[in-house]
Amino acid sequence: MAERRRKMAVSHKEQRGIFMNDANKGCRIKICGLSRIGDMEAVNRVRPDYIGFVFAQSRRQVGATWAASLKRALDPRIQAVGVFVNAPVSEAVRLAEVGTIQMIQLHGDEDEAYIRELKRQTAAPVIKAVRVRNGDDIFRAEQLSCEYLLLDTYTKGQYGGSGRVFDWNLIPPLQKPFFLAGGISMENVHEAQSCRPYCLDVSSAVETEGRKDPEKIRRMVEAVRQSGKQSGG
């Protein structure tokens, strides 16, 4: 077990080195809330950088066993992120340990103590989501010992996946790389990149009648890649 953890730590360090220092690579793209084998086939064709499995309560929720099957159908070059809301630390750790996910996204009220405990038990990089109401929310989150932030829209009674945009003017210059989420669509994808996110995170806008739509996924991934080429990335 200790050896396995050590190897994971090395591989995540290498991964962080590549992702954080590779300034030549343009903005990344994450497609979140995948739950069907057809979704895996759709992403394998266009290869976003990340996909997300939502383990929290949601119409997009997947269980551990089903997520493991989905992961087996996923192109290994795509990183799988597990999305959790106030889950026991052991749940996220276990999913990372068995290889269903490579990164952990905390989308609830998890605090520094929670993140520290997570980091004690796994080397998987941590993304802490901030549901933005004001600039202070973001400043506070930057003090946490996570590798990445994810800035999302605050919606009362809903932790994520609302399809709504927040005021991007609230984003201060940040030290940590951040994922930009919340209502990213074909209409605002270029403007979103001017906020200089490490990665764009999309869910609702690549769905049709509540299901992921392969053609919308293809167009979204293509749009992000095209912008990267135009900006020289």
Ligand X SMILES: O=C(O)c1ccccc1NCC(=O)[C@H](O)[C@H](O)COP(=O)(O)O
The yes or no reply on residue 101 touching ligand X (CB under 6 A) is no
The yes or no reply on residue 71 touching ligand X (CB under 6 A) is no
Between residues 142 and 207, which has the closer beta carbon with respect to ligand X?
207
Listed ranges 56-64, 66-74, 192-200, 212-220: which one lies at the site for ligand X (CB under 6 A)? 56-64
> How many of the chain's residues bind ligand X (CB under 6 A)?
25
Least spacing, CB of residue 137 vs ligand X, in Å: 15
The yes or no reply on residue 56 touching ligand X (CB under 6 A) is yes
Q: Residue 161 has which token pair?
A: 């996946």
Q: Is 201 a catalytic residue?
A: no
Between residues 5 and 188, which has the closer beta carbon with respect to ligand X?
188
CA dist 188 → 28, 113, 219, 225 (Å): 16, 36, 13, 15
The yes or no reply on residue 28 touching ligand X (CB under 6 A) is no
Q: Is 195 a catalytic residue?
A: no
The yes or no reply on residue 204 touching ligand X (CB under 6 A) is yes
- Please say whether the beta carbons of 148 and 176 come within 8 A: yes
Between residues 121 and 204, which has the closer beta carbon with respect to ligand X?
204
The yes or no reply on residue 155 touching ligand X (CB under 6 A) is no
Q: Distance between CA atoms of 132 and 202, rounded to whole angstroms?
A: 16
Question: Of 175, 177, 206, 172, whose CA–CA distance to 189 is shortest?
Answer: 206
Q: How many CB atoms neighbour CB 8 within 10 A?
A: 17
Listed ranges 4-12, 38-46, 92-100, 202-210: which one lies at the site for ligand X (CB under 6 A)? 202-210
Helix axes 64-72, 37-46, angle to 10 degrees: 40
The yes or no reply on residue 26 touching ligand X (CB under 6 A) is no
The yes or no reply on residue 184 touching ligand X (CB under 6 A) is yes
CA dist 231 → 9, 19, 41, 188, 194 (Å): 33, 18, 29, 16, 10
Pick the catalytic residue: 39, 49, 152, 201? Answer: 152
Residue given tokens 């889950």 in the structure block: 87
Q: How far is CA 126 from the centre of its chain?
A: 10
The residues assigned a catalytic role are 32, 152
